[in-house]
Structure 1
Amino acid sequence: MSFLLPRTLYGRLALILVTGLVLAHMLTFYVISRERRTATESLMLGYMEQDVASSVALLDRLPAAERPAWLPKLQRRTYGFMIGPGEKGGMPEARISTLLMNSLEEAIGKRYELEAAALPGPPEHMQVHLRLSDGSPLTIDLLPRGLPMAPWLLPLLFAQLLLIGAICWLCVRQATRPLAQLARAADGLGPDLRPSRMEEGGPEEVARAATAFNAMQDRISKYMTERMQILASVSHDLQTPITRMRLRTELMDADPAQRDIILRDLQQMEEMVREGVTYARAAHGGSEQPRSLDLDAFLDSLVLDYQDLGKPVTLQGALGAPLTTRPLALRRVLGNLIDNAIKYGGNAEVVVAPAGSGSAEIRVLDRGPGIPHELLETVFQPFYRVEGSRNRETGGTGLGLAIARQLAQALGATLTLQNREGGGLEATLTL
């Protein structure tokens, strides 16, 4: 049955409260209606005993010729009088008919002989036959009815139900709002680690949760800042000995082939250090502020830079509108994707198109070997390489896509990979 319940805590609490209050409302209405019916019956029977007894006594004392003129004056909402034997029928069986008959016998049955007849057809209809002192037949026509219901009662009950629903909605909304704020704050804690502070107020439990969440954000931010500082320090400290080693290697009287190998290894070490620092900084999203950017001109300039270097990169499509983003981070993301496409596919195709209101989709396509489907997400992990060797020429450091994903998240964008039909890879950046 859980699949019938709302998925949100707000929906479930509202459903529980509304259901409980509506059931209580219906039970109260039932109890009041039953009590009202009981009181109505008691009032009707007590009043009828006195009124019927006096009416029959009046008709019995009037001359026979004057009795018909008095019948309209003695007519009531639930009963009336008829001169004559009336209609024949069966014995009354309904509860209200039995009560009426017992009440009439108690009021006039000691003086007059009564005969009851139940007549078919809704509503319940009953006649009581008797003979007056002069032998004239008299019929009491009974139409048992409850007290009439006020026309405004049902609309009022419906309005009460609406009021109950509105109050439940408001109360549950107030109760669950801190949870929604906590969720938004957690979602807002992006790779740039710019905390979305929660207001530390409200009920005690909510204030404690907000305080704990803010403290957690501060600890994470401090940890990531220290991590970046450590990596930056390591990079700075390593670059100096690497530079000295390169200079000494160039001055060594060694085999030129061996010297070139050592120099290449030192260069790779330096590149790995720089990429490690870049990844750490990408996790913070950098300090670059978003600004409005002519994306078409930006992409055209980026592609022309590659073409000036003799790289086979092409551009297709246009956005036709400015976009608010961080240009340096965007250039780094696209640069990593284009470099990968050129490295593994020999060329890169950049395709841009609108992707909804205020959004853009940039695809970088190649015709390389692609990536196994089960590894399309794994390749975004730091230092993971599809090519298992440690050869920099074939596998790289394993940080390029990780840096691109981190920067994309800092941009508020999504970066996905998928294999192309006919071979190759398609990287899609949705801004």
Structure 2
Amino acid sequence: MRSVRAKTTIGATAVVAVALVAAGFAVLMVLRAYLTDQAELQAEVTAREVASRIAAEGDAGPITVPSTEDRPVQVVDEDGRTVAVSKDLEKVSGTGSADVTPEPRRSGGEDPEEGDTGDEPDGDDPDRGHVSGGPPRFSRGEATVDGESAGYVFAAVDVTIGEGRDVTVYAGAPLTVEQDAVESVREAMLAGLPVLLLVVGSVTWLVTRRALRPVEDIRTEMAAITASEDLSRRVPEPGTRDEVARLARTTNETLAALESSVERQRRFVADASHELRSPIASLRTQLEVGEAHPGLLDVPGAVADTVRLQQLAADLLLLARLDAGERPGRSRVDLGALAREESSQRGAVDRVPVTVVAADGVEVLGSPGQLARVLGNLLDNAQRHAAGAVTVSVRREGADAVLAVGDDGSGVPEDERERVFERFVRLDEARGRDEGGAGLGLAIARDVARRHGGTLMVADSPAGGALFVLRLPSA
């Protein structure tokens, strides 16, 4: 089951099924409890009516039970003997006695139904009884009334009808209404559950298909882009503001970034090929001339071209490593010491002197070699454009270490200050390639700064030229 639509439909249907079964079970329990309470109330009402009638008749004669339609009544004395039953009661269980035949009342060894014996004076009223005021007791059982058997709930009420004589009235209410109602509701639920689940599954399937249609369109377009390798194409963006629309926008942003990266890579390869072609052609020409005319071989020129090739290859290798995500080292580097060391190596051979103003103890974490490469590239650029002075300053600003390289040259126009950090870009196209370099120094410097968690920006120097500011997190 690999389809998200199928998984969603099955999951939603299963959840609804569990919820409906639980809800149906709860409804059945509530309905059963309600109907049982009603049956117990009916049984209690009948039992109290019969008990009140018996208490009113007192102990003057045999106990009689009034007609109670389909509600069986049984009267049992304290010895468990049945003394009265309702009409047509043929069988009973769950009460005080299973006997449905009343036993004759005996008082002084004589049957009260044989008439008055004259032992009691005429005119004396029989003792009136009373019904117990306590709550009834309930039980369940079965009874057969006029040949029909059913389940009943019985309510038991105690009655005192004479001195020392207590009986218990059991009155039943049928449970057929409760059983029929519960069974009907259960059958209706069982019949409606599959239909409802079918509706839920169908609706979920349709809604999911409609919701996932933009995703399928995105997938189809991505497959076409992959097959055609045309990164200028974009996936369709739905007009909604949901997750699918955000996915489409993010996908298009990724495609745009990938297209830009591939384009930069293509330009980089083309520019690198172009930059390498010139010194290689020059070196080949000199070697061919030297082979044909040894006396005309320009050895210093060949060495210069070789050095330039070596530097260009080193720059391209470093850029490739940076593009591959190589992490810099985590050594502690003193920027002040690094600046003094780099300027001292240049002092006697460079036409423009370098002045270093560095605070002590300004340290960062990183690669000493890469940071030295950044400073060297900045100094090369400053000395190439300076009129007569280059200044290097190192200081701490808050949590950052700041290294600034300024010159007194013509500076960088404001609208060109980001372009100078692009690869193979030289603003002064009039300069020769040997003087201007390949245009990789500042691009390498910014990439290294970013890899170290810092920034490299260009501004105006107080001396009138350009001021390159390297800002790195302090160690």
When normalised by structure 2's length, the TM-score is 0.38
Flag the structure with higher strand content: 2
Q: Which has the larger radius of gyration?
A: 2
Flag the structure with higher helix content: 1
When normalised by structure 1's length, the TM-score is 0.41
